Structure 1
Amino acid sequence: MSADDQAFLDVLSSLPHDIQRYSGEVAEYIEHYSGNVADYIDKNVERIADALREALAASPWLPESIRPRPPPPAPALTLPTSAYDSIQNWISRHKIVTGVIVLAAGTILYRTYRSSARSRKTRRARRAGSGGRLDVVVIAGSPALPLTRSLSLDLERKGFIVFIVSNSPEDEIMIHNLSRPDIRSLTIDTTDPPSAGSSIERFAHYLQTPHAAIPGGKRHYLTLKAVILIPSLNYQTSPIATIPPSSFADLFNTHLLNPILTIQAFLPLLTARLSPANNSNNNETAPPKVLVFTPSIISSINPPFHAPEATVCSALSAFTEVLAAELRPLSIPVTHVQLGTFDFAGFSPGASARNRGIHHHHHHHQGVNGAVGLLCASEGADTLQWPDSARHAYARNFERQCGSAISAGRIRGMRGSSLRELHNAVFDVIDGSITSGTVRVGLGAGVYGFVGRWVPRGMVSWMMGIRKVDELSTWEQSESQRNSYNSSLNSPRSAGSVDDHEGEKVGDLEGLEGTSMSQESFVAVGHMDQHKGVADSHVWKEDL
């Protein structure tokens, strides 16, 4: 057998094995493909059957008896979730609410932490080695004010020597009645600049003179730590039309001009840097601080019928800002303390009488800003004493505002903040713990500041009960004004030039003013209108 034949036989012998292998692969492929095809056909047949069943069930033309029933809904698969997962899902759905809650909680926690830390702080003034007092505080405020008395007693208890500025013998008597050896009177007459300067010189000499706690003890020098300005807080509540000019003049003199002159008198002492040559603690002495107190509630929202307080407090705030700008280069801090509502129980003159149930409607009451203020109409003021025109225009809104929940800056039904909050804030400013230029203390100080900045004025007035006035009184010309005007028209000079006619009317008005000023109280004085022939009875003239 040749080699070619043997090769051919080998090929023929290998064919059965290849055919068997290929046939097995083809069988496996057909089996797998047929299985997939069967599965595919089964799934589509079931889908088609479900769709056909649903279509027939929803067909109205089939009778109810042969209409197929729809398949029952598959039961919802609920997986048990933990509380953490539930909270996380709620947070993801309410992101804005979550942010507000986190911000509010953080603010409350921060304020609570600061309040607790400040309440635990030990507040005591410095003492000399011999036990004598070293720090001096001057309070420029009337000793009749509850705020002045409470603050002076607290500072004296904490170790300060307190001087209260007095302008009269009555003030000195009230300071003496406090019965505290370290609360003393400092007489300064701000209306007489030379006398005020002499008083400041004597006070500076007192600070530069060494003192001893006990006779024969070690001597030390006193240090002026702060000058606290507390303006008078008694303001009239009334429409502008019913306030005589003399009241505005007295208000500006006592509430605005007097505090400015007091600070002006102390400025040479503040900028002098009192430092005796033999004082070993010169380098450690901080400059004195200036604290200006003003009520902030009324000046923040400027409500109707509070023109005196709003005007004076706004002017004092502007004055404080200018003073701070001038003293800042001299390293003398100026802090504006904006007061809210405080509880002065025990410090108001009539507190004991009110506690016994005695009501004095004609007396003054303790105001919300620590002052003694006038009563509103709903609390004792008589609007019937106003002129008819002012009563028709303002009386109803005035009474509504006095009866509102937030009238005069007070929140009806809520007591003021504790005086300890104010005392702690003042001490922290004096010792340097608080360095801010503006400090809001008391209930409502921060809230009303926010309302004044962001809430529309119309909404604030509406909340205080102010409503539109539809009915006003008609103008009634007085008999004397009519006679004066008629006589001016019938005079021989009435046919003259316009200038002569106007000059004659001016002369008649001067005579009318002289007649009006002889009355017993403030009266309406006319101002003639050449077009209408009437007199303006809203101009006030003061009794001479």
Structure 2
Amino acid sequence: MTDASQIFDYARKQFNDIAEDVERHFESVAGQLRGYLPVDTSFVRPPPPPRRLPPPSTLQVAQRWMLRHQALTTAAVAFVVTGSIGAFVFVRSRDGKRKRRAKRSASGARTDVVVVVGAVANPLTSALYLDLERRGFVVYVVASTSEDEQYVRSQSRIDLLPLNLDLVDPFAAQEQLARFKALLEREHLAFDSAEPHHLNFTGMILVPDTQSTIASINDTSSEEWSDALNAKVLNTIATTQLFLPTIISHKAKVLLLTPSVTPALKLAGHAVESTVYGALEGFVSSLAAELKQEDVSVSHFKLGNFDIPSVTIKQRRDGVPKPMLRATPLRKLHDSVFDALVASRPRRTWHVGRGSLAYDVIGNWMPPAVIGWMMGAGRRPAQAVVEEVREEEMVGSQGSLTWEKIEQEA
């Protein structure tokens, strides 16, 4: 054995002795620890920290506060409700008492011009243009016949004038309308030393007579259909076309007034009236879309039941029973028309008159079977209603008698 191998064996022996000493030391320490610790003790993981809840939202804080202060919350709610009702009543009463008058020039002359197109002698139309004249407008009523012109002049109002418009002859109608345009363009003097002023074309009001006799489609001849569509639809469209350039240049407003109770329900025997109403509604919708690009407002007034004084007096004289439900005063319609004429951005659709909005919703959302049951289909023949309502009264009152019977049956 060489010296190198002896040295290597000696080093290995020393290393093994040191390792055995270290191992015996750790075993003795472990034995002492086992003597101090219980044998069945196991490691237990500490519990996780409690989860923090997110902060309450504003709604939760408000709900908790209201639960803690129920008496104060009840008093606050009662105060808000009563205050809102009081404010609504106050605003409505103030709005009803507000004076609505057209603008005048510095010299006191009338400057706003309104054109009314419709059945001249109809009580609703005549009451409308007379009210507009009283409010300070210069009112021109389109008269296509000499009888209509004489009827307008018989009202004896200085600023209520007939506007002759021959729709049968387009060239004559253009010449007549050219005179109206020249009237708007030239200067006017209220008196000799007054400051000159121009007339402002404020709006055109279309009041077509959409009423017709109650008859089934089988009993309505083609001539009656043609007369109704020509007189009530085509004349309205032709008149509007003639005035369109003037309307666009003056940014005048266009208002269409049509009774909507019977057409909304689409009752049997009212095919002509429903067809005329649908045609006019489609026309005014397209007209509004086209004139919107020219910054011209178009409004559709869907009328309900109104109390027209002249018609009411005639009905009482003829012994017509008083309706169970009170009709809307005619002043409500006049105020709404004035508001639409002077508003910068009037609403697209106006529901004015009792039953207008309610029957519109019913006709659009309820099934026809339910509407027929509400109207008492099968209980009373339609001919009986025709015999009870005189035709001239129904036409003169814009169908107010028909609406009253609808509401009584409903």
* Cα separation, 1, equivalents of 2:81 and 2:366: 21
In the other structure, the counterpart of 2:392 is none
Q: How far did residue 250 of structure 1 move?
A: 0.5
SS at match of 1:316: helix
Task: Please state if 1:175 is matched with 2:139.
Answer: no
- In 2 relative to 1, CA 271–459 (structure 1 residues): closer, same or farther, beyond 3 Å? same
Partner of 2:188: 211
Instruction: Give 1:465's aligned amino acid.
Output: G
Superposition pairs of residues 309-458 of structure 1, within 5 angstroms: 309-346=273-310, 348=311, 353-357=314-318, 412-432=323-343, 435-458=346-369
* Percent identity of paired positions between Structure 1 and Structure 2: 35
Q: Distance in 2 between matches of 1:444 and 1:102?
A: 32
Q: Cα gap change, 1:255/1:114 in structure 2, threshold over 3 Å: closer, same or farther? A: farther
Distance 1:352 1:445 in 2: 23
* Aligned equivalents of 1:120, 1:328: Cα separation in 2: 33
For residue 117 of structure 1, report the CA deviation from its aligned partner.
3.5
TM-score, with length taken from structure 1: 0.53
Gap change, CA 1:161 and 1:113, over 3 Å in 2: same
Partner of 1:237, secondary structure, is coil
1:473-511 alpha-carbon deviations (Å, 9 max, x no partner): xxxxxxxxxxxxxxxxxxxxxxxxxxxxxxxxxxxxxxx
Query: For residue 317 of structure 1, what is the amino acid of its counterpart?
Result: E
Shift of 1:340: 0.7
Structure 1 position 265 matched with structure 2 position 246:
no
Deviation at 1:135, TM superposition (A): 0.5
Whole-Å separation in 2 of the counterparts to 1:256 and 1:102: 52
Equivalent in the alignment of 1:189? 166
Contact 1:127 / 1:133 at 8 angstroms: preserved in 2? yes
Query: Which of 137, 158, 178 is matched with 2:114 structurally?
Result: 137
Verify the 8 A CA contact 2:140 2:162 in the aligned structure 1: yes
| Structure 2 residue identity aligned to 1:159 | G
Partner of 1:405: none
Deviation (angstroms), 1:113? 4.7
Query: Which one of the candidate residues 192, 202, 219 is aligned to 2:179?
Result: 202
Contact kept, 8 Å, 1:200 with 1:269, in 2: the verdict is: no
Deviates more, 1:318-327 or 1:194-203: 194-203
The CA deviation at 1:103 is: 12
Distance in 2 (CA, whole Å) between partners of 1:341 and 1:434 is: 26
Shift in CA distance, 106/450, structure 1 to aligned 2, threshold 3 Å: farther
1:221 corresponding residue in structure 2: 198
CA distance in 2, matches of 1:356, 1:448: 30
**Residues in 1 aligned to 2:82 and 2:304: alpha-carbon distance in whole angstroms:** 24
Q: Tell me, what secondary structure is at the counterpart of 2:95?
A: helix
Name the Cα RMSD after superposition. 2.9
Quickly say closer, same or farther: Cα 1:244–1:267, change in 2 above 3 A: same
Cα contact 1:417–1:443 (8 A) shared by 2: yes
Residue 203 of structure 2 contacts residue 247 of structure 2 at CA under 8 Å; is this kept in 1? no
Q: Check if 1:289 corresponds to 2:266.
A: no
- Residue identity in the other structure for 2:298: V
Whose RCO is larger (CA < 8 A, sep 6+)? 2
- Following superposition, the deviation at residue 300 of structure 1 comes to 1.5
Output the amino acid matched with 1:331.
D
Cα separation, partners in 2 of 1:413 and 1:266, compared to 1, 3 Å: same
Name 1:362's counterpart in structure 2. none
Given that 1:190 and 1:265 are in contact with CA atoms closer than 8 Å, whether structure 2 keeps it comes out as: no
Deviation at 1:222, TM superposition (A): 0.5
Answer whether contact 1:142 1:165 (CA < 8 A) is retained. no
Quick check: 447-456 or 324-333, which moved more?
447-456
1:233 aligns with 2:202: no
Give the distance between the partners of 1:468 and 1:418, measured in 2 at CA: 32
Give a deviation string over 1:165-212, Cα, whole Å, max 9, x none.
Answer: 000000011101111010000011122211111111110001111111
Matching residue's letter, 2:271: A
Q: 2:297·2:345 contact (CA, 8 Å) conserved in 1?
A: no
Pairwise CA distance, 1:353: 5.0
Matching residue's letter, 2:256: V
